[in-house]
Amino acid sequence: MSSFKNLSGTTALALIITGSAAFADVSAQDVWGDWKGYMESMGYSVTATEATSGDTLTTSDLSMTMPLPEDEGTITIMMGEISYTNQGDGTVAVTIPASEAVNVKIVGGGESVEVPMTLTQNGFNAIVSGTPQEMTYTYSAVNLGLDVQSVTANGETVPVEKGIFSLTDVAGATTTKTGNLRNVTQQMKAGALGYAFKFANPDAADEYVDVQGDLKGLSFEGAGDYPMGQMNSDDMNAMIKAGFNFAGKFVHSGGQMNFLFTEEGDQITANTSTTGGSVDAAMSEKGLQYSVGASGLKVNFQGGDVPFPVSFEAGQIGYDVAVPVVKSDDTQDFSMGIALRDFVMSEQIWGMIDPGAQLPRDPATIALDVSGTGKLGFDLLDEAQMAAVESGETMPGDLQTLKIEELEITAAGASVTGTGAADVDMQAAMMSQGANGIDGTLNLKIVGANGLMDKLVAMGLVPQDQMMGARMMMGMFAVPGEGEDTLTSTLEIKKSGEISANGQRIK
């Protein structure tokens, strides 16, 4: 929950320097007033000094304060001047200095953290147009940057040798419509996001963390409806029922990161790179959806307690989940997937497992994709209802169907693939003795298992008698398939409790 308010603070800063999704109308005063009202409806307390000269309204000493979740304190963002200039054609230009101070302060629980920064821009241009009911802005910049000077925690300041974040070749557009809900659609592209920071131990200059990297070819598209005056991250369930929804996707075309850590004479180095990646997220009454993935991943690591360099690669790595969040008497969909494809380890790692190189070094894959239907018996984001489920006072819901869309485990010259589906009757399972309430089938194909078991025995990793038991178990559940060293298995389970393998009843 707290991450939502932290994100909203960052978004507030981004809205300021890009002209704001809430900016629009024909006068500078309307632009400032509308933006101020928007931020206040999001939970911020906004103050600033206003001054007008000709067609330009300038705000200075801007301060935005928001309470943290669960009364844990406040976060305040402070910055200097922003100017709004009437263009004479029904649009307003928003400008910021080439360089100005920004300060973020978090106070709560008897503790405080303060982070002074410098906001820089080169070639920044933002034009706001439209009507009070429907507003559009466009923005661009050669470069937008933040330079962190220091971090002060509870009065103790830690100098930041490097603390730089920059966006280059930025261009974007946003349209916002106001009413009971504020609808916002956004598109943004940037040539690159770069970052570099270095923190040193104030008591030992040779102990520090140094990180630098970048992402290239960034793009973002998103849209959402926001219930004004009801944006409260402490009660996401109420927000959703008031109409909150959001869907957005962030994509990049590759990046790299270098990491160096030193302490007491020890040094740890690491570097990673990808050829692309994405984050896709959505939330509404229909449910929560989230997926993250990367392609062309490479990781190298050395130091610490690891006595040799470690490196590995993956063609694809990803995770996705979609779940309902609101109680319903209607059938709801859910899904979950995880994938690690074309995984390759360095020979140093292989050498510890298989120094004689008896196992194939083929790329490994682990993938599972599951979907299903059911009925959620409580509001997932309601803390009181969640507590009732955890205590057993409320049933979590009713599972109706389950489907294995994909199952794959491939490694060391062997593979297991499969699909399956089942209908589930939870009432029958709970009320009938001997019944399990499940009616389903699982289809499996196993290739190379016998060859792998022979190699494991020859390597001395598995005793012969244990492997004999494994072979007997496979013989009970699988039959020979087409192709060398291939087995297939069809497992069936009935609601009555009957279980069969390849047509032969085993229970």
Number of structural domains (the chain) is 1
pLDDT, tens digit, 9 for 90 and up, residues 207-246 = 889 999 999 999 999 999 988 878 887 789 999 999 999 9
Distance CA 129, CA 25 (A): 6
DSSP 380: T
Cα three-residue angle 16-160-79, rounded to 5 degrees = 20
Please check whether residue 120 lies inside any domain of the structure. yes
430 pLDDT above the threshold of 60: yes
pLDDT tops 60 at residue 143: yes
What gap in Å lies between CA 152 and CA 374, rounded to an integer?
Answer: 50
Pairing of strands 150-153, 111-122: antiparallel
- Residues 344-356 have pLDDT tens digits of 999 988 988 888 8
Is there a contact between 143 and 164 (Cβ–Cβ < 8 Å)? no
Determine, yes or no, domain membership for 310: no
Confidence of residue 3 (pLDDT cuts 50, 70, 90): very low
Task: Give the pLDDT band (50/70/90) at residue 26.
Answer: low
Is residue 446 domain-resident? no
Looking at per-residue pLDDT, the higher value among 265 and 409 belongs to: 409
Residue 38: C-alpha distances to residues 30, 96, 440, 501 (Å) = 12, 20, 53, 63
Nearest 5°: the CA angle 3, 8, 10 is 95
Strand-pair category, 204-227 with 181-201 = antiparallel
Neighbours of 318 (CB within 10 A): 18
pLDDT on residue 24: 39
Determine the number of helices (DSSP H) and then strands (DSSP E) in the chain.
8, 28
**Residue 109 located in a structural domain:** yes
Compute the distance between CA of residue 34 and CA of residue 24 in angstroms, rounded to an integer. 8
Is the residue at 333 inside a domain? no
Residue 461: both structure tokens together: 């990793």
- Checking if the pLDDT of 100 tops 70, the result is yes
Report the distance separating Cα 335 and Cα 370, nearest Å: 6
Does some domain include residue 173? yes
Report the distance separating Cα 305 and Cα 123, nearest Å: 48
Q: Residue 434 has what pLDDT?
A: 54
Tell me whether residue 403 is in a domain: no
Q: What is the pLDDT of residue 121?
A: 97
Q: Which domain holds residue 114?
A: 1-285
Percent of the chain with pLDDT over 90: 65
401 pLDDT above the threshold of 80 = yes
Residue 113 falls within a domain, yes or no?
yes
Min mean pLDDT across 128-132, 208-212, 278-282, 344-348 is at 128-132
